[in-house]
Structure 1
Amino acid sequence: MNSPLPHPATGPQDFAGRAVVVTGAGSGIGRATALAFARRGARVLVADLNADAAAETAALVGGLGADVVAVVGDLSEQAVVDRVVATAVDSFGGLDVLVNNAGIMDSMAAVADVTDAEWERLLRVNLTAPFLLTRAALPHLLATGRGAIVFTASEASLRGSAAGAAYTAAKHGVIGLTKSLAVTYRDRGIRTNAVAPGGTITNIQVQADPEGTGPRALAGYMGNVGRPAEADTQAEAIVFLASDAARNINGAVLPVDGGWSAV
């Protein structure tokens, strides 16, 4: 049995006893989000492709006194999705919050330069995987009567000048999925929102050909990114949208970008 959290949160952002799944939780925004929920009393399932990273995050979450389990695997595979949901429900008795955060970056390639493999992988990981997980989680979120889903979208979900064609298309799709869920399930106790991070300090590496059409075309716009945010900044926005403090916010896309989307 884990010891109690040192300073449990109270009020509308208190998640004591609630079960939360965070994908891509092995590093970056996902890890910061898992820790932010744990500090507020949540029980957390850490999902990530990297076993060592997932174990490290789980250890950090457990060190806060929170109940935690980890599931390792590729969330674009239905079997892994099913295992995530089953593990959360078996371990915690249900599911209250789903954070669809996991994603990969593209090569900033323009449409003419995107390979079939890159296109299919980007859409599979960044759009199909969160769809599969959301579909599997929905019955359990509905059972709570107050389920919350938060997607990590991107600045590239708001404009065409922040990433390559594949990533931009996938993240625009995430916004469409967010809004569809918000409308369809708003009368059944589920809220669905998204954050749209701008530049954020994470370990994601972009492998781009600087002479390619995409990187050259985008270079002039990327100068508007401004000061990069810490992963914790994105995590706090995710926690807020999942919390009772945002109980009347549904279908929103919250830019957390230092004003980049206003430029």
Structure 2
Amino acid sequence: MPILDLSRSVRGSRVLVTGGASGMGRATAWLFAREGAKVALTDIDAQGAEEVAQAIRNEGHDAQAWLLDAGDREAIQRIVPEIAQALGGLDIIVNNAGISAKVPFDAPDYDANWDRNLAITLTGQQAVIRASIPFLMASDAPRIINIASTEALGASAGLSAYSAAKAGVIGLTRSFAVELGRHGITVNCLCPGPILTGMTDHLTEEDRATFARRRTALRRYGDPMEVAHVTLSLALPASSYITGAVIPVDGGLSTRHA
């Protein structure tokens, strides 16, 4: 049997990264652009997204930014085809947009937080996927990578809306992996653990160090670029037989018991 020749390059691929103005989305946009992909990044922070895209272009790479509220399904249905037209198609979707707020079950704003979390973190992901499918079907190596969280595998007090939404992302990933597999579209999911992003900025350096020492095998927080590299690995044309996978990127947090 001949050895199958599979590419480990995303050069020339058309990539959509949601929530690309900061954190893991920003790192992902930078990494794909540096690897030669054409990147579209979206965010509700239009200025932040454009600043990231401009910085990428200043390095000689290809990036464009769009304003997009990931909780607005009508906007998603309008913007995704616009992005596909601008890029000449879509090959890779990175569903990164999400929000997190610590809201206890008896807080006055619990219902509003619940609705917004699910709208952005879960419903937004399925809306982006469904809007992208016609374009992915025309791709030679279509990839969908959804960003969930280790909060989908365990739980922290006050994060029930976030945990429920992220657990839903895992279910969404597995269901779409089965449904889209016959079209050659792979759908996988990452569960980042403690990562140095805006969602952890409110913690002191001492608190982060204590948590990492007690809970992770590597005894440290991760960098957004470390998550981005796993995303890139799943997006490679060579990763054509991985689908429905749920991969923790958590420094061993989900493995360590004591």
TM-score interval, normalised by the smaller of the two chains: 0.7 to 0.9
Give the direction of change, closer, same or farther, for the CA distance of 1:45–1:98 in structure 2 (3 Å limit).
same
What is the TM-score with the length of structure 1 in the denominator? 0.85
Name the counterpart of 1:262.
255
Query: Which of 144, 147, 165 is residue 152 of structure 1 equivalent to?
Result: 147
What is the TM-score with the length of structure 2 in the denominator? 0.87
1:112 shift after superposition: 4.3
Aligned equivalents of 2:158 and 2:35: distance in 1? 34
Give the direction of change, closer, same or farther, for the CA distance of 1:176–1:221 in structure 2 (3 Å limit).
farther
Name the counterpart of 2:207.
none
> 1:1-263 alignment to 2 at 5 Å?
12-109=7-104, 111-113=105-107, 115-161=110-156, 164-204=159-199, 223-225=214-216, 226-263=219-256
Say what the alpha-carbon RMSD is for the aligned residues: 2.3
Q: Deviations over 1:72-126 (max 9, x none)?
A: 12121123212331222211111000000010012152x4447111111111111
Question: Which amino acid letter does the alignment assign opposite residue 252 of structure 2?
Answer: G
Question: Which amino acid letter does the alignment assign opposite residue 97 of structure 2?
Answer: A
Aligned equivalents of 1:163 and 1:156: distance in 2? 11
1:132 shift after superposition: 0.8
The question of whether the paired residues in 2 share the 8 Å contact of 1:200 and 1:229 is answered with yes
Aligned equivalents of 2:200 and 2:226: distance in 1? 20
1:235 shift after superposition: 0.5
Give the direction of change, closer, same or farther, for the CA distance of 1:195–1:162 in structure 2 (3 Å limit).
farther
Aligned equivalents of 2:157 and 2:20: distance in 1? 23
Please list every run of 5 or more consecutive structure 1 residues that lacks an aligned counterpart in the other structure: 1-10, 209-218
Aligned equivalents of 1:146 and 1:223: distance in 2? 41
SS in 2 for 1:144: coil
Q: Deviations over 1:216-256 (max 9, x none)?
A: xxx99995244100110010011111112322111101111
The question of whether the paired residues in 2 share the 8 Å contact of 1:13 and 1:239 is answered with no
Please say which of residues 18-27 and 140-149 is displaced more in the overlay.
Answer: 140-149
Give the direction of change, closer, same or farther, for the CA distance of 1:60–1:83 in structure 2 (3 Å limit).
farther
Aligned equivalents of 1:246 and 1:95: distance in 2? 17
Task: Work out the number of aligned pairs and report it.
Answer: 242
Question: Which amino acid letter does the alignment assign opposite residue 242 of structure 1?
Answer: A
SS in 1 for 2:93: strand
Please list every run of 5 or more consecutive structure 2 residues that lacks an aligned counterpart in the other structure: 1-5, 204-209
Aligned equivalents of 2:64 and 2:212: distance in 1? 41
